[in-house]
Amino acid sequence: MALWIIVGSIFVGVTVAVIAVATMLRDQKENQVLSDRLDTFTFNKPIETDAPSLLREPIEAEVPKGPGMFSRMGSPTAHIQKLIVQADMNIGVGTFMLICAGAAVLGSVVAIVFRFPAPLVPLGAVAGLLPSFFLTMRRSNRLKKFGAQLPDALELIARALRAGHSLASGFQLVSQEMPTPIATEFQRTYDEQNFGVPLEDALRNLGERVPNIDLGFFITAIAIQRQTGGDLAEILDKLGYVIRERFKLYGQVAALTAEGRLSGYILNALPILVLLALLKLNPNYVMLLFKDPLGFKMLMGAGVMQILGAIAIRKIVDIRV
């Protein structure tokens, strides 16, 4: 009975603390955003007009290495906010951190209640990473769906241009005729332009929300056409054709590497499943790995080799198209 009281008190205390911190951060952020908007409308805050051109920005810049890498990554809060926007989830950073903390506490409580072995109790906190995995998977699926819809959107915009509509009208047509997520993103770009944001800045925001290399080609093509002229409809048709052909090649590569990917999944999951099975069937036999110093070193070495093997298999089967 005393154990349940202690566990419940810890859970309630951590939950209340996280809620309080998340509420404070959210209120501070909302006040700052409101203040910036008021300063802009009252002309106390100048509007930046010397933004770099899209033509001078690389489509896919190389990831910086060394000390400059951390400065480019930014703060963890900004990185999480960017992932949330790209995954199109209607939650704040504070709420997401609260969910992660709650999952970690819940995992620890489950480990204590079900009487996991003492060395495995801290692993219950790993449940706090599950919301991050869900966010990453949702973002990845959304970007893949956007990439698959992009060729149809380009052809739709090209037909709208040939019919005499403007580029902004083509964006609106995509938002009305196509499903999400591409309809949502093009609707945001269309709304930004209607509210007075320059087209170049609106397209740059679209590229930040959807980090897709094909979309980068589309944005660069528009920037070049607006400065040098040309038949944008023909450019979009050719770009859509290239994207479709690349998808065909990607499907062939995925089919050829399916066996290697399946082998990697099995080899990565097999040691963990065997360890759990032995822990259930004969706990005393497995606990030597955790209690004995040499066994613990062997377990850590096996874990490192498992990670290195997973990375090697992923590098082999991950053929970039």
Indicate whether 56 and 170 sit together in one domain.
no
Indicate whether 213 and 129 sit together in one domain.
no
Question: Quick one: 306 exposed, middle or buried, by C-beta within 10 A (0-12, 13-18, 19+)?
Answer: middle
Please, what is the average pLDDT of the chain?
A: 77
More confident residue, 108 or 307: 307
Indicate whether 268 and 223 sit together in one domain.
no
Whether residue 204 lies inside any domain: the answer is: yes
Instruction: Mention every residue, 6+ apart, whose C-beta is less than 8 A from residue 194.
Output: 168
pLDDT cut 70: percent of the chain above it: 74
Indicate whether 249 and 263 sit together in one domain.
no
Position 43 confidence tier, pLDDT thresholds 50, 70, 90: very low
Query: 138, 163, 185: which is the final residue of a domain?
Result: 138
Indicate whether 166 and 241 sit together in one domain.
yes
Contact indicator for 146, 182 with CB cutoff of 8 Å: yes
What is the pTM (predicted TM-score) of this model? 0.66
Indicate whether 292 and 312 sit together in one domain.
yes
pLDDT of residue 26: 58
Indicate whether 243 and 268 sit together in one domain.
no
Intra-chain end-to-end CA distance of the chain, in Å: 59
Helix (H) or strand (E) holding 204: helix 199-209
More confident residue, 194 or 118: 194
Per-position DSSP letters for 266-281, written without gaps between them: HHHHHHHHHHHHHHHH
Rg (C-alpha) for the chain, rounded Å, is: 26
Domain count, the chain: 3
Position 127 confidence tier, pLDDT thresholds 50, 70, 90: confident
For residue 86, the SS3 value is helix
Indicate whether 110 and 194 sit together in one domain.
no
Indicate whether 9 and 127 sit together in one domain.
yes
Mean pLDDT of 33-60: 45
Domain that holds residue 183: 144-253
Least confident of 40-54, 70-84, 133-147: 40-54
Position 24 confidence tier, pLDDT thresholds 50, 70, 90: low
pLDDT of residue 45: 44
pLDDT at 105 over 80: yes
For residue 230, the SS3 value is coil
Contact indicator for 169, 189 with CB cutoff of 8 Å: no
